[in-house]
Structure 1
Amino acid sequence: MRRPIRTTGAVAAAAVTALLCTAAPAAAVPPADTECTAPAGPYQRQLEKHLGRPVDGRQSPEDCRAIRSFQTANDRPHADGFADLATYRTVLVVEATPDPNAAGRCPVESSRMTCVDMDRQLLWVQTGKRVVFGPVPIRTGRDAQETRPGRHAVYWRDRDHVSTIYDNAPMPYSQFFDGGQALHGHPGDLYDGGGSAGCVNLTVDDAAKLWDLLALEDPVYVWGVKPGTAD
């Protein structure tokens, strides 16, 4: 028997509001012509390629300012010119936005389909070929706790779910699709740690929007391999 959907929207809204109210304000962005002193980051070459800079993996003042301008334009909280993981994931979102399913990996059907691309760590929702949500960055399962690929369906939704396995961790806007794995919001830094315990993590804001869009029985299609995990 399918579990009932819990509708405690007021509690969820209060929790999200509290999170927003306690979040640290974004750092002030320096003018574009000020000195930029960040060292080369782990995703230096990827940022250089995206920004049309010489791809040598070495940070120059011009590289630093170009990366900082990209971070500022895309509302990154730390616009400092450092090519970190979060900035690289933003590049993947920007590059995928015109047509996230250009490679045709996600099934194109007349009904709504949630697409989870573990290779690029992206999620979007499409109806036919029309993208109706995303792409947005995600975090899938770490090594030995990988998110299971294949075609699934949303079978249970819990707006205010709390994990009974992982230290009562909050899982807002949970939409379960396969054996305890869910699409859900991750309060805090989406890029901390090596991955989730199998769920598909989104920012809380993106998870809330996805909650409003999906329904029980909606298909979820997962493919690819999270970078850093075994094939």
Structure 2
Amino acid sequence: MSRRQFLSGGALLGSSFILRGTGFADQVENVEDLKPGDFTWHPDRSPSGPITIVVSVPEQLVFVYRNGIRIAVSTCSTGKAGHDTPTGVFTILQKDRDHHSSLYDDASMPNTERLTWSGVALHAGGLPGYPSSHGCVHLPLRFSSLLFGITTVGTAVIIAGQHDEPVDVGDSGMVLSNVAAEEADAAAASAEPHGADAAAPTEEKSISIVISSADKRAIVLEDGETVAEGAVTIDAPDTPLGSYTYILSRTASSGGALLWHAIGYNRDSTTGETAEKTLYRIHPDADVVKAMQARMVQGAILVTTDLPLHPDSRSGKDFVVMDTAPSA
């Protein structure tokens, strides 16, 4: 894998309803019962909190989590051979309810949520039951509209061959090895003008933090622009960090404590550390810690990777941590 490929930017399903077209179908037990065009939608399971989207390429399924709880699953269609959908961690860069393709004969792409400036996006499209797109992630029309309504610019999207169910990290009162949750909480409260329990999507700044074991460095990005960068010390440096995405949230109680929801993806679970152990091995320099503490808002994401940070594969306000490159 080349450096240029790196940086260019639940459990409750047992009682789910399937939606076929626009109507409800019978209850099902497993996502294996979903047929092309089907999806489940249960936002009431977790009414508020940050959204995370996981696209499983092998399963041709999209999983939606809010505050670490699975609220929806949908069938999808990713890129066909020669137009493979890149895998890795993305954030939603732009949203357009009535988008038309500039590459494919002005084709209608309803409910587009852009993931890269080079053309990869989530949007409504054909669903034959296998990968068929030119690199985008096709979704059922109704599902794409519902999803569009609960995401914001900056929402994390993980496209992967394998992923773990979310786990909570932060019971020790720390959001990083040397960043105490209570120290970050005041900054978080001041940065959340609608209160810590605000449920409505807002267009607040998108905060992303990337930590590379290869470079032993961290970068802090706000709306895609680097606002801080510095060295990190990593305990047991010869042990890989692994590929994790952490989404900052709060416990369910009013004014609840900050904690991370962590999702591992495309990693070897037999050789890596747990999400919690990985997080607390990381010790950023003081300037990075200060920048992080000032930006600890719900929905902030932190990504760990064993690939190098390489700025010549990152352009504009694009946040992409790729482990495969997009097809030419």
Q: Please report the TM-score for the alignment, with normalisation by the length of structure 2.
A: 0.35
Higher helix share: 1
Higher relative contact order structure (alpha carbons within 8 Å, sequence separation ≥ 6): 2
Q: Please report the TM-score for the alignment, with normalisation by the length of structure 1.
A: 0.48
